[in-house]
Amino acid sequence: MANTVSYTVEYRRKRSGKTDYKKRLSLLKSKKPRMVVRKSNKNIYIQLIEYNVEGDHVLVSASSKDLSSYGWKLAKSNIPSAYLTGYLCGRKCLKNKLDSAVVDLGLQPVVKSSRLFAAVKGAIDAGLDINAGESIFEKEERLRGEHIKTKEESNIADEMDKIKKKIDKKFK
């Protein structure tokens, strides 16, 4: 009969593929809030989360669903809406006196010029201090939605400018 176990059982969240603890530890060592960016098929979700021993605390959150209250009538899962959601989250952070963050993309595939990085670019443009290289971001034309054709012939870039002004006016 053996006295020792020949293997170690991994944490449940690691076994189920939900948490990369090595990456999480490296993000927590920075002592900055994490800007968690998640995407679904229809929406973008952004949260600024601060570590606490009893459990993480959400400081600020924004969703592409919130853009409806500012007059955004187009899809909420495309690159321009991800940018605006990041911009909204960045303005909320500055209002709550949070000026820097570390990006946490989780276990999602990290693809250059994706919706995730459009959201990060929006937060940076809002004034949030995030360490990110310029090479990972979309071209300005794609961020402004010039590549998207709509049925109602509305100019997405003009809509974005209107919504950015509304956000700036609310969080001044």
User: How does pLDDT run across 16-30, given as a tens digit for each residue?
Assistant: 888 888 888 888 888
Question: What residues make up the domain containing 51?
Answer: 19-170
- Dist. CA 101–CA 40, nearest whole Å: 22
Is there a domain that residue 147 lies in? yes
Is there a domain that residue 14 lies in? no
Q: What is the pLDDT of residues 106-151, one digit of tens each?
A: 888 888 888 999 999 999 999 999 988 888 888 888 888 888 776 6
Is there a domain that residue 13 lies in? no
Per-chain mean pLDDT for the chain = 89
Please tell me the predicted confidence (pLDDT) of residue 59: 96
Mean pLDDT for the stretch of residues 58-75? 94
Contact 129, 99 (CB under 8 A): yes
Which H or E element spans position 158? Answer: helix 156-170
Contact 77, 44 (CB under 8 A): yes
Please tell me the predicted confidence (pLDDT) of residue 3: 84
Is there a domain that residue 161 lies in? yes
Please tell me the predicted confidence (pLDDT) of residue 41: 94
Given pLDDT bands bounded at 50, 70 and 90, which one contains residue 155? confident
% of the chain surpassing 70 pLDDT: 97
Contact 59, 32 (CB under 8 A): no
Is there a domain that residue 56 lies in? yes
Beta strand pairing call for 44-50 and 100-104: unpaired
Domains: count for the chain:
1
% of the chain surpassing 90 pLDDT: 53
pTM listed for this prediction? 0.87
CATH of the domain at 93: 3.30.420.100
Please tell me the predicted confidence (pLDDT) of residue 144: 85
